[in-house]
Amino acid sequence: MTRRAERQLAWALLIAAMIWLVPANTLPIMTLNGIGGQSSGTIADGIKGLFDSGMPGLALVVFTASLLVPFLKVLVLAVIYWHTPEHPAPATAARAYRWVYWIGRWSMLDVFVVALLAGLMRFGEIARVNPEPGITAFGLAVVLTMLSAHAFSPKQLWKDDDAIRANP
């Protein structure tokens, strides 16, 4: 693949991820059905719930993995792609790219929370957790962002002539 085609693929995947992030954060990710009634919650509701039930540490972990990192990651990648080729600060960009690459997979956390609750809370009418469409959107956003980072190779940050000299 040419460098230009590589960048186009990375952009396309990133834009798709940005679009999926909207329903991921506005639609509920799961519903709890119980004797006390029914309650649906978005990702933000889940974080607030953890905080309200006296677990600020876990709330902070989920906030970072599910809310902060997905948006920050998309933003950081967009800024890196925007300045490529001939990035003005390739070493800094490479460090940011590597950080984003490593941290991005932890955003899958909420998908696994819903998966485990859907598997465990199956007590018919008495207590039941059902997934909601938000979780599909969220999973897609996380995977598309990871694939976008995959499609982009950090070699692009340096000028072409450098790369030619570097690959005799």
Binding positions for another protein, rule: CB under 8 A:
32, 34, 46, 49-50, 53, 55, 58, 61-62, 90-91, 94-95, 98, 101, 105-106, 108-124, 126-127, 130-131, 135-136, 139-140, 143, 146, 154-155, 157-158, 162-163, 166-168
Q: Which is nearer to another protein, 72 or 115 (by Cβ)? A: 115
Q: Which is nearer to another protein, 26 or 39 (by Cβ)? A: 39
Half-sphere exposure of 121 (CA within 13 A, CB side): 18
Residue 64 CB, nearest approach to another protein (Å):
11
Residue 13 CB, nearest approach to another protein (Å):
15
Q: Which is nearer to another protein, 14 or 62 (by Cβ)? A: 62
Helix (H), strand (E) at residue 129:
strand 127-131
Residue 72 CB, nearest approach to another protein (Å):
18
Q: Which amino acid is it at 19?
A: I
Q: Which is nearer to another protein, 82 or 126 (by Cβ)? A: 126
Question: What would the two tokens of residue 12 be?
Answer: 């396309």
Residue 8 CB, nearest approach to another protein (Å):
20
Length of the chain: 168
Burial 47-68 (b: 16+ CB within 10 A, else e): beebbeeeeeeebeebbbbbbe
Residue 128 CB, nearest approach to another protein (Å):
10
Q: Which is nearer to another protein, 26 or 53 (by Cβ)? A: 53
Give 168's DSSP letter: -
Helix (H), strand (E) at residue 38:
strand 37-41
Angle at which helices 133-151 and 90-103 cross, to 10°: 140
Residue 14's Cα: distance from chain center in Å?
Answer: 11
